[in-house]
Amino acid sequence: MSETAEIDESLYSRQLYVLGHKAMLRLQTTNVLISGMRGLGAEIAKNVVLAGVRSVTVHDEGEVQWGDLSSQFFLKESDVGKNRAKCCEPHLAELNAYVQVASYTGSLNEHYLSAFQVVVLTNSSLDEQLQIGTLCHSKNIRFIVADTKGLCGLLFCDFGEEFVVSDPNGEQPLSAIVLNISKDNPGVVTCLDEEGHGFQNGDQVTFSGLFGMTELNNCTPVKIEVLNDYEFSISDTSGFMAYENGGMVTEVKMSQTFSFKPLSESIEDPEIVMTDSCKKEQHKTLHVAFQALHNFVQRTKRLPKPRGEDDAQLLIEIAKQIPWKCPVNEEVVRKFAFGATGDLSPVNAFIGGLAAHEVMKACSGKFTPLRQWLYFDALECLPEDASDCRLTEETCSPRGSRYDGQIAVFGSAFQEKLSSQKLFMVGAGAIGCELLKNFAMMGLATEEGGNVTVTDMDSIENSNLNRQFLFRPRDVGKMKSITAAEAVRKMNPSLRITAHQDRLGPETSDVYGYQFFSKLDVVFTALDSVEARVYVDGCCVEHQKPLLESGTLGTKGHTQVILPFLTRSYGQVQDSQENAFPLCTLKNFPFSIEHTLQWARDIFEQLFKTSAENVSRYFQDPGFVKNSLKRDSAEALGVLEEVYDSLVTWKPNNWTDCVSWARNQWERLYNNNVRQLLHNFPADKVLNSGKPFWLGPKRWPRPLNFDPDNATHMSFIEAAANLFAETYGIKGTRNHQEIAETLKIVIVPEFTPKSGVQIITTDDEMKEATEQSVDDNRLEEVRKKLDTLQKVGIFKMYPIEFEKDDDTNLHVDFIVAASNLRAENYYIPPADRHKSKLIVGKIIPAIATTTAAVVGLVCLELYKVIQGHKELSLYRDSFINLATADCFLFLPSAAPVHKVAGLDLKFTLWDHFPVHGYRDDTEMTVEELLSHVKKNHSLEVTDLFYENAAIYLSESKNREERLRQRVSEAVRAATKKEIPETLSVLKLIANIEELGLDDKLPPIHYSFRKAKPE
């Protein structure tokens, strides 16, 4: 496929932000073979098909067995006895209409394999791996081996002698502000950046927007040598002009070439990527254990029996005979042997996600490939007590059940425990779909008493289909939660699942309150909003429920285990506030494309949304002017003048007026305003400190002159004129020739910069300016003008809501043109539409491979939670970056312990004082509650609060009256509102005399009525 071929951006939009167009096009020219269609092979195939390669052929000579259903989500019980590849083919083909899917059941010979660019083996003998690996290496076919056995897995990659990677990490190129460049050999570049420039030795950079030393502007890439966090040296600059000010230095991504050893050589001296810093020696032992297992199977024609002591001992002996430079951990080999027949969906999801991403690297030539081995185990999922009597050869033996692959590892009793779990999952998008798939395979909530509740208020869009595995084209427009529930029931008809369409927040606390949370075992978040995650986390802390949190951002992903009394909560380590740019930077001193894009987004809101909304309010609300005058005077004047301008100064009568308005807006934004700024702050402006005003982040701008032959200039005019016309209900046109002809008759007034105009240079100045009152006469004058207009009658305007996903509405067109013109003002490199849309639309890049891997890891933590592990050292948080083949598993942070000064009281965020306040049909009084707390916790409560209301104050005049009231009566009296019927527990905050300013007691959870039956 040529690089001019089309890509379905409505389907691949989120993936394109990860791969880019060139890599995506290369992906679409690649034929992939995946051999072995048990759970791991299905996971890899699913992700590769969703990714959009040209063709995927699945190969398997074996038949479906009962144990396959433990993790093979494409198979049904009726498929037992049929060929695995044939059964999978139609399901894979349904995932992506752009991918050719075929099945193959014959032998893998040289002639057949030559048709593929990538070959993946998932269920092969070591002899077959060595034979095919040697063949692929000789023919430059990318070769991958992936395998899982119970709680252990491996991944191996061989991409040939010379594998060229166009972009090693997929990150946006680094950039920094230039503060100075010396005339020297070598020249030293000093950067202005609070956190340093971020470059590394050997990086190549280019410069733009320099005043002085212009020889470097847009030069060929220059290799650098880092001197410190803020300086680096470049080539000889002694013969260049002297540097004056301004400029940016930007990293240039350079390709890298990697060389791989074939499997036959690498297996003897492996380069192993560690996934868990606590298990370095375990990973080395697994390299031998997997080889020993191949030998065991060759001898016995079978895998070791689940929990078979004799088989485990034989595997240990075989492992000890394999030449290896490191000591073999016999206990690890024993545990490996005990679960080797196991087939676990979470392990397959993790290894399968990683393997599928390596396939994408092999196809696209983007991102750093795995070098060359990766081993993984989650053996800590097993019971804490190694001698647990529930794990025997009998309890782990096959039962002819779809869960045999899981029973082989954890035993039948644990499977029963899984079946009765009550889970709550918030979000049914990409992560939610993968979680539900794993739940179904694991047999969660499949018996009486078990249930999965999933809630999501969104409907399915076409772009979801590329990564939200449970949805198909026919589902577009349907609710995610309902559709996901229906799809996963087909995978496992026994799954008990309830679909809601609620947003979890204060407004639904009557639905998701104490009664709901008290019945849950575990909560999952599958959200893309930090704010929503923090809210769910707060609910789990309040109700003391485990929370398993996960998220992805392109090739990066994380998991976090949040356990009552053991770990920190999500909210303790997250900041839900988005970083905001300083207003003065956006308004007058931008120095990055992010600044100009945010500025353009703000201009869009001002011109096409807020002004129209205020006009509508002016006509519809008789008190609009009066209410506006209650604001601070500067804000009130701005709103009222905007309304007057929209109705008089700017109001168009026809399309020509709209073009005229757009042309004058262009002049105001990109010429007049900049000329006024330069008038106030000329090039030689010096601060009181003696330093130049235009230095560092303050970039010397230039006014632009309108050019009708400039595509960006005309794009602004076309978008602005049409959007302006739309707000007034006037029909526009996108005929470029017609717009150009209209521009010829537009009058653009001459502009002369004025003295005395105040321009804000810092946010502090901006704050002071807004706090200063404006001339009351101006306000009164505008008010009188509007009173006169009011008599004219009703006038309607149409506010425009910014919509990034409709490429025909000109919204993104306006943003891109407006931003890049401002970038040109300030010598900032422009951004293409793709990058601009990503930033201004706050789009989260996403790809199915990362989602699968992250969900696999979080479901492994679920095993531990259900096992009831008490030791924090057995749990893992994680961070992965598939672009660089990095995977870091680490111990969760322990819950901080707080101590109240002067009291022998220690507690964590998870603690509270439970009080059962009702007996028979009566309820505690406030006095009885205080006595209860004193008696049981030795605390003398002085004040008691509910939400923001004081229900008891020891120094108040109504103290005695409140003491006699029932607690719920006191709450009603203090809040002046009724308590919802669904609420049975009140969260009360107590104060005591001993509390310091920074001290805070755990809340009192006061049960005042019996929970309402569902």
457 contacts 502 by C-beta, under 8 angstroms: yes
| DSSP alpha helix (H) spans, 83-125 | 84-95, 110-113
Identify residue 448 by its one-letter amino acid code.
E
Residue in this structure with the two tokens 């002009």, named with its chain if needed: 241
Q: 376: which strand partners? A: 153
What whole-number distance in Å separates Cα of residue 240 and Cα of residue 245? 14
**Alpha carbon 1001 to its chain's center:** 34
Surface-to-core class of residue 812, CB atoms within 10 Å of its CB (0-12 exposed, 13-18 middle, 19+ buried): buried
What whole-number distance in Å separates Cα of residue 927 and Cα of residue 969? 13
Is residue 540 annotated as a catalytic residue, yes or no?
no
What whole-number distance in Å separates Cα of residue 818 and Cα of residue 603? 9
- For residue 463 the two structure tokens come to 């772009």
Q: At what angle do helices 848-867 and 345-364 cross, to 10 degrees?
A: 160
Dump the DSSP string for 594-632. Answer: HHHHHHHHHHHHIIIIIHHHHHHHHHH-TTHHHHHTTS-
What whole-number distance in Å separates Cα of residue 529 and Cα of residue 456? 13
* CA 678 to each of CA 27, 68, 672, 701, 829: distance values in angstroms, whole numbers, following the listed order: 49, 72, 10, 8, 21
What whole-number distance in Å separates Cα of residue 38 and Cα of residue 572? 41
Identify the active-site residue in 433, 584, 859, 887: 584
What whole-number distance in Å separates Cα of residue 539 and Cα of residue 670? 49
| DSSP alpha helix (H) spans, 365-429 | 404-410, 412-419
Three-class DSSP category at 907: strand
- For residue 629 the two structure tokens come to 């005058």
Cβ count within 10 A of residue 267: 19
- DSSP 8-class letter at 493: T
Dihedral angle over CA of 627, 628, 634, 640, nearest 10: -150
702 contacts 683 by C-beta, under 8 angstroms: no
* CA 33 to each of CA 56, 58, 143, 751, 790: distance values in angstroms, whole numbers, following the listed order: 6, 6, 10, 67, 72
- For residue 6 the two structure tokens come to 């089309």
φ/ψ (deg, to 5) at 713: -60, -45
Q: Which helix (H) or strand (E) holds 103?
A: strand 100-104
Categorise residue 625: left if φ over 0, alpha if ψ from -120 to 50, beta otherwise. Answer: alpha
φ/ψ (deg, to 5) at 356: -65, -35
Surface-to-core class of residue 937, CB atoms within 10 Å of its CB (0-12 exposed, 13-18 middle, 19+ buried): middle
Dihedral angle over CA of 514, 961, 996, 1008, nearest 10: -10
339 contacts 411 by C-beta, under 8 angstroms: no
Three-class DSSP category at 921: coil
Catalytic residue IDs: 584
